[in-house]
Structure formats: structure tokens, C-alpha cells
């Protein structure tokens, strides 16, 4: 993968130039931000903005209701806009249901009991929501539904795949669940799958192009044939590339027109950053440092320098600790130190 392609993708990811945006603007541009790590999705917003703080993300989740977290692409949690939930849920979750039923069966939960649990969760949120995970566990236990071990998370997942619940507001430090119907309102009157696949392909390329059909299918968790249908539907909007990758024509994407974008300045990216999730091959960014993605599926925070991973870092006790993979030029070390100060500011203002 060429440096130019890495630069184009970093630009599409809003990493080349920071702007003072609302969190919803950034998330809408990326379409979906990996959301299983609460600190991670907040830091993904920080790395792509200027002047925002973690509390701004919480405000969008809680007061504005403009952002939610839901199990969507690939069956993993994602931060999305309230509007884009209605695009992604019907495209990415139907294929998850059989695996959910099998996983619950492994926990001793029959399909009938799973349906009963979803109904209990929905009723509790409708009557008394928002509710935290421990509160929902109490409601399920009271209805005679076992929640020990991994049962609770898979029952919540089952209800989410069914389109009943999402994670909405922050209640203190707890991220509460809400009823989709009550929090987001009624779904659009009509769902056109072909139109939705075209929109999925278009929106994916805005935040991830240039990319291949396999990249789209992997990122969204949809069958390859559906990814091809979506890209084919917007073929008139794509420019020709010698490498065969799909890219929107000027005026359609984030890095359109003019000279190729520069590589982003040194930047600290958080755990599960979207830059590592958008494509099948992440070797151009990670190089020989594949351990940033651990064998148990954890994506560690890392320093991005000239489009490549240059070290890992951690945040604890209000301090950032950087562990570079090698000696850094003075200017790069200074830039990362300044970005570390911004991480502290961003998190402290939550």
C-alpha cells in the first residue's frame, strides 16, 4: 500500500485536518465508530476535532439524543447518529440473529426464554427507562430469567438485534439502555434495501475511501454480494483508479479535488480507533507492530506518525504515558507531547 493511499484514507478519516465540529458531525461523517470501549469512542472524536471534550460526547448521547451506541456492524457495538441507526440496523443485524440464538442456547437459554427476556427488557424500559445494565438484570431475575455468567450480555444483545434497545443517555458514569421506540421514535415508513445498500456504499466511501468491495463487506458485516450491489448502484459517482479501488468523484467525498492529501501530523489515537477497523488489511498502518491488535481482539491505543504506528500509550491517573517503538525526532516527540496534553484536557473536562 502506497503512502499516498494511506494519506487519502487518513484524510477521509478526518485525521489530516482537525476542525471544531460537533461530535454528531464527526460520527455522521465516519458513519459508525467502534463503540465497545467507552473511552475509545470518545477519544476517536477528540482525534478528529479541536476544542471538544468528552462531556460534549456525553451531551450528544444524553441531552441531544443525536448519538446512540448499538450492536450493529459485525455484531459489535458502534457509536452512530440517531438517523443512521435506521440505515444500519436493518442492513447489518438480520444475519446476526441465528448466531445469537445459538450462543444463548450454549448458555442454557431456549429461544422461548430469549423471546420472554426481550419482552421483559422492552416492557421495563418502556415503563421506567432509561435503565442501567444492573437494573435490567434485576428485572430479568425478577421474571425468573437467569442472568449469571454471560447470559445477561447475550440477552441484551438479543434484544438489540431485534431492534428493541440501544444504549442512550449517560446516568452518571453508567451508560443506560433505552427503548428504541421511545428514544428514537418510529422508524422510517419504508425501507428500500437496494437504496439502503447504495447509501451504505456511498457513506462508507466518504469516511473510508478509497476502498474495495471486500473492505466494505468486512467493515459493515454484510455479504460480499450486497457490498457489490451497493457499489454498483453508485458506479456513476465513482472515479476511475488504476488500482481498482472505489473512490467517490470530486464533490462527493472528504478529500476531493486538488493535490493528494498530506499525511496527518503526529497524533495519539485511542483504543479501537476507526483507522484500524475500516479495511481488510491494516498492515500499512501497523507495519511490524501487529501486537497493537491483540489475540483476544483488543485494539490498543497507539501513536500515529507519518501514517504509521510509532508507539503505544496509556492514560491513567490523569496522565498519558507514551511508549515509542524507537527514538523519535525532536519535533515529533514535541508534537506527541502536545497531543498528550490535549488528551488530558479532553478527558478532564468530562
Secondary structure, 3-state, 176-212: EEEEHHHHHCCCCCCCCHHHHHHHHHHHHHHHHCCEC
Average pLDDT of 329-349?
Answer: 96
Average pLDDT of 318-346?
Answer: 98
Q: Which residue has the higher pLDDT, 5 or 20?
A: 5
Angle at which helices 193-208 and 224-233 cross, to 10°? 80
User: Grid coordinates in use for 239?
Assistant: 472515479
Q: State which of 120, 143, 162 marks the end of a domain.
A: 162
User: Grid coordinates in use for 335?
Assistant: 508534537
Tens digits of residue pLDDT in 41-82: 999 999 999 999 999 999 999 999 999 999 999 999 999 999
Tens digits of residue pLDDT in 117-157: 999 999 999 999 899 999 999 999 999 999 999 999 999 99
Rounded CA separation 8/209 (Å) = 7
Examine residue 307 and state whether it is found in any structural domain, yes or no.
Answer: yes
Yes or no: say if 32 and 294 are a contact pair by the CB < 8 Å rule.
no
Q: State which of 121, 146, 162 marks the end of a domain.
A: 162
Tens digits of residue pLDDT in 169-211: 999 999 999 999 999 999 988 899 999 999 999 999 999 999 9
Examine residue 334 and state whether it is found in any structural domain, yes or no.
Answer: yes
Tens digits of residue pLDDT in 213-257: 999 999 999 999 999 999 999 999 999 999 999 999 987 554 555
Mean model confidence pLDDT for the chain: 95
Number of domains in the chain: 2
Examine residue 304 and state whether it is found in any structural domain, yes or no.
Answer: yes
Examine residue 192 and state whether it is found in any structural domain, yes or no.
Answer: no
Question: Residue 141: which domain range?
Answer: 94-162
Rounded CA separation 181/82 (Å) = 12
Reported as type and span, the H/E element at residue 309 is: strand 308-316
Examine residue 312 and state whether it is found in any structural domain, yes or no.
Answer: yes
Examine residue 261 and state whether it is found in any structural domain, yes or no.
Answer: no
Is residue 277's pLDDT more than 50? yes
Is residue 258's pLDDT more than 60? no
User: Could you identify the residue written with the cell 455484531?
Assistant: 75
φ and ψ at residue 176, rounded to 5 degrees: -85, 155
CA nearest 184: which of 64, 94, 97? 64
- According to the model, what pLDDT value does residue 252 have? 56
Examine residue 298 and state whether it is found in any structural domain, yes or no.
Answer: yes
- According to the model, what pLDDT value does residue 253 have? 52
21 falls in which pLDDT band (50, 70, 90)? confident
Examine residue 124 and state whether it is found in any structural domain, yes or no.
Answer: yes
- According to the model, what pLDDT value does residue 349 have? 61
User: Grid coordinates in use for 201?
Assistant: 456504499
Q: State which of 128, 162, 196 marks the end of a domain.
A: 162
In this prediction the pTM is: 0.95
- According to the model, what pLDDT value does residue 2 have? 86
CA nearest 211: which of 9, 3, 66? 9
Amino acid at each position: 500500500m502506497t503512502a499516498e493511499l494511506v494519506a487519502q484514507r487518513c484524510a477521509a478519516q478526518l485525521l489530516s485536518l482537525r476542525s471544531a465540529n460537533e461530535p454528531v458531525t464527526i460520527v455522521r461523517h465516519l458513519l459508525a465508530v467502534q463503540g465497545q470501549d467507552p473511552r475509545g469512542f470518545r477519544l476517536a472524536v477528540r482525534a478528529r476535532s479541536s476544542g471538544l471534550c468528552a462531556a460534549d460526547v456525553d451531551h450528544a448521547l444524553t441531552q441531544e439524543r443525536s448519538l446512540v451506541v448499538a450492536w450493529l456492524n459485525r455484531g459489535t457495538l458502534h457509536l452512530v447518529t440517531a438517523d443512521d441507526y435506521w440505515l444500519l440496523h436493518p442492513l447489518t443485524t438480520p444475519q446476526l440473529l441465528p448466531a445469537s440464538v445459538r450462543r444463548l442456547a450454549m448458555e442454557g437459554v431456549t429461544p422461548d426464554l430469549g423471546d420472554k427476556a426481550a419482552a421483559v427488557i422492552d416492557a421495563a424500559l418502556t415503563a421506567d427507562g432509561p435503565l442501567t445494565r444492573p437494573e435490567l438484570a434485576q428485572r430479568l431475575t425478577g421474571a425468573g430469567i437467569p442472568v449469571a455468567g454471560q447470559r445477561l450480555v447475550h440477552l441484551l444483545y438479543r434484544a438489540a438485534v431485534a431492534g428493541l434497545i440501544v444504549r442512550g443517555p449517560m446516568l452518571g458514569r453508567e451508560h443506560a439502555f433505552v427503548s428504541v421506540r421511545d428514544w428514537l421514535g418510529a422508524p422510517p415508513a419504508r425501507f428500500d434495501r437496494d437504496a439502503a445498500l447504495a447509501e451504505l456504499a456511498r457513506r462508507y466511501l466518504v469516511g473510508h475511501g478509497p476502498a474495495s468491495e471486500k473492505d466494505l463487506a468486512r467493515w459493515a458485516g454484510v455479504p460480499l454480494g450486497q457490498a457489490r450491489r451497493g457499489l454498483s448502484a453508485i458506479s456513476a459517482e465513482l472515479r476511475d483508479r488504476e488500482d481498482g479501488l472505489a473512490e467517490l468523484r470530486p464533490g462527493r467525498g472528504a478529500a476531493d479535488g486538488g493535490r493528494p492529501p498530506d499525511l496527518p501530523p503526529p497524533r495519539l489515537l485511542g483504543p479501537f480507533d476507526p483507522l484500524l477497523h475500516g479495511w481488510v488489511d491494516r498492515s500499512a498502518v501497523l507495519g511490524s507492530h501487529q501486537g497493537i491488535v491483540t489475540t483476544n481482539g483488543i485494539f490498543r491505543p497507539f501513536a500515529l506518525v507519518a501514517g504509521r504506528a510509532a508507539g503505544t500509550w496509556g492514560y491513567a491517573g490523569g496522565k498519558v504515558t507514551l511508549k515509542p517503538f524507537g527514538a523519535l525526532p525532536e519535533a515529533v516527540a514535541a508534537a506527541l507531547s502536545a497531543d498528550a496534553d490535549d488528551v488530558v484536557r479532553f478527558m478532564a473536562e468530562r
